[in-house]
Amino acid sequence: MAFHGVREVENYFVPFLQRFKSRKEWKKLHASIIIHGLSQSSFMVTKMVDLCDKIGDMEYATLLFNQVSNPNVFLYNSIIRAYTHSSMYCDVIRIYRELLRENIELPDRFTFPFMFKSCASLGFCYLGKQVHGHLCKFGPQFHVVTENALIDMYMKFDDLSDAHKVFDEMSERDVISWNSLLSGYARLGKMKKAKALFGLMPDKTIVSWTAMISGFTGIGCYVEAMEFFREMQLAGIEPDEISLISVLPSCAHLGSLELGKWIHMYAERRGFLKQTGVCNALIEMYSKCGVISQAVQLFDQMKRKDVISWSTMISGYAYHGNACGAIETFNEMQRAKVNPNGITFLGLLSACSHVGQWQEGLKYFHMMRQDYQIEPKIEHYGCLIDVLARAGQLERAVEITKTMSVKPDSKIWGSLLSSCRARGNLDIALIAMDHLVELEPEDMGNYVLLCNIYADLGKWEDVSRLRKLTRNGEMKKTPGCSLIEVNNVVQEFVAGDNSKPFWTEISSVLQLFTSHQGLDAIKTTTMLLHL
């Protein structure tokens, strides 16, 4: 076949590149391209690199790129894009520096989004700002895709100021611009700002709603997270896997079993139970809502279990005080050759703590360090000391506080102080109290505990001294609270707060329950229910 010019030859091969069926055909096609003298054609090699990107053959893409003596910016962009898609971020930066060094052509607006993503993924904040400077210096026209990548980079660097500055200076914003900024604020727990931004958004997608739900869940505002989930449904947005995973921890913490069950049925109907993450979140929800049997059933039905699945089930057993179930699940996990992580051992230690198996607790603590090289965190030490303290091994527990790799916190000393009352150990109680006075000087609960220990030992002068101290000092007491779910709405009641709707009616009912007449009515109702 006779060709008239290089462009005609290039156009001839393009359709073949688009419909090749095997790597063998691809090699033959490449050989034919070389024979026709196109090995130095940036246009042709760009098409071939794009194909390598599609099939994931970065080694071949690199060979193709390296054989071109004078690649143009389109070929540079092609290899940079391919490396980014394969998470080869260091190679992206290397090629970018080569492009600047050669100085044949300057980067364009298609180069920078991949550079910003690479800098963000590697955590190279200073380099990312340098590349931002290049964008301004070289003067390619700002484009919404480039600016969105820039916002995303600054948000991943936790640089809210620069991210918002880029957003404010954009001449055109799309839904990705809004979601990038919103997701960044939500991820960092800046929910007041995120909520204000959410209210200004012209268009809200599932990503927008999920960012708000996830953000509120992340800072422990579970009621707000569930409210946004319901508002999302009322707005006609169908929940996806990520939104379900985001709201289920709120159901778990609030004990909202009815909503959790609805999510389970919805996930089953939509085929989301094939997603391991959704199943993991449901297992945690059922465990914390007190329905461990449903959690076990769901766990047993899972076809693919990851380390989070096993750890969640172990923690679920621990939450219910079932040490045998937790240990047996861990043994199954080892037989399945799934390596445990820190959360796994936290669940095991917690399970041992509930039943006082301090020897088992020590065994798993040492196994974590010696067999799996997992360095214990403050939570692991807290669980281990709780295991020992509950079992009466107070001296051992105190010795561990002296050798810990991290400084003991108030929870550890509080656990020791609490256990001292059951054992009548005043010496260790005073050691724990000394540290608690330093860490939590205004917490009245610690003084009450020590006061009770003095009272149990008949040391009434010390009791009187502590009571005077708590009256004269500026002590704080955490108010008690309770939650109840009615008609899929969770109501929280805090001691001393009478601002709830129907507070007068609720108080009247409570007074009735505590009266003799009310107690007789409850007994009668209970008898009738059992007939």
Distinct helix (H) and strand (E) counts, the chain: 30, 2
Instruction: Give the number of other CB atoms < 10 A from CB of residue 193.
Output: 16
With 0-12 CB in 10 A as exposed, 13-18 as middle and 19+ as buried, what is 275?
Answer: middle
Residue labelled with tokens 């042709």: 44
* Residues 366 and 375 sit within 8 Å (Cβ to Cβ): no
Amino acid sitting at position 209: W
Element (H, E) at 53: helix 42-55
* Residues 226 and 259 sit within 8 Å (Cβ to Cβ): yes
- Give the end of a domain, one of 242, 274, 304: 304
Task: List the pLDDT tens digit at each of the 531 positions of the chain.
Answer: 444 445 565 565 666 666 665 666 667 777 777 777 677 778 888 888 888 888 888 998 898 899 888 888 899 999 999 999 999 999 999 999 999 887 667 888 889 999 999 999 999 999 999 999 998 887 666 789 999 999 999 999 999 999 999 999 898 899 999 999 999 999 999 999 999 999 999 999 999 999 999 999 999 999 999 999 999 999 999 999 999 999 999 999 998 899 999 999 999 999 999 999 999 999 999 999 999 999 999 999 999 999 999 999 999 999 998 999 999 999 999 999 999 999 999 999 999 887 778 889 999 999 999 999 999 999 999 999 888 888 888 888 889 888 888 888 888 888 888 888 878 888 888 888 888 888 888 788 888 888 888 888 888 888 888 787 777 655 555 555 565 655 555 566 665 566 666 666 666 766 666 665 555 554 554 444 344
Query: Is residue 471 assigned to a domain?
Result: no
DSSP 70: S
For the entire predicted model, the pTM comes to: 0.77
Query: Is residue 521 assigned to a domain?
Result: yes
Dmax over CA atoms of the chain, in Å, equals 111
Q: Of 276, 208, 211, nearest to 247 (Cα)?
A: 211
DSSP 304: S
Query: Is residue 310 assigned to a domain?
Result: no
- Give the end of a domain, one of 272, 304, 336: 304
Q: Which domain holds residue 221?
A: 204-304
Query: Is residue 403 assigned to a domain?
Result: no
Amino acid sitting at position 286: Y
Buried b (16+ CB within 10 A) or exposed e, 2-20: eeeeeeebbeebeeebeeb
Instruction: Name the token pair of 508.
Output: 């009247």
Instruction: Report how many domains make up the chain.
Output: 2
Alpha helices by DSSP H, 358-409: 358-370, 378-390, 394-403
* Residues 429 and 453 sit within 8 Å (Cβ to Cβ): yes
Query: Is residue 519 assigned to a domain?
Result: yes
- Give the end of a domain, one of 249, 277, 304: 304
Query: Is residue 253 assigned to a domain?
Result: yes
Query: Is residue 329 assigned to a domain?
Result: no
Q: Is the Cα torsion angle 518, 524, 527, 528 positive or negative in sign?
A: negative
Distance, CA of 313 to chain centre: 18
Annotate 88-157 with DSSP letters as a single string. -HHHHHHHHHHHHHH-SS---TTTHHHHHHHHHHHT-HHHHHHHHHHHHHH-PPP-HHHHHHHHHHHHHT
Instruction: Give the number of other CB atoms < 10 A from CB of residue 272.
Output: 20
Query: Is residue 270 assigned to a domain?
Result: yes
Instruction: Give the number of other CB atoms < 10 A from CB of residue 98.
Output: 12
Give the span between the Cα atoms of 240 and 238, in whole angstroms.
7
Q: What is the pLDDT of residue 531?
A: 41
Give the span between the Cα atoms of 49 and 297, in whole angstroms.
48
Instruction: Name the token pair of 137.
Output: 């210096």
Distance, CA of 369 to chain centre: 24
Residue labelled with tokens 């009266």: 515
Q: What is the pLDDT of residue 3?
A: 41
Return the beta strands (E) in 122-263 as ranges. Answer: none
Annotate 466-510 with DSSP letters as a single string. HHHHHHHTT-B-PPPEEEEEETTEEEEEETT---STTHHHHHHHH
Instruction: Name the token pair of 328.
Output: 């047996």
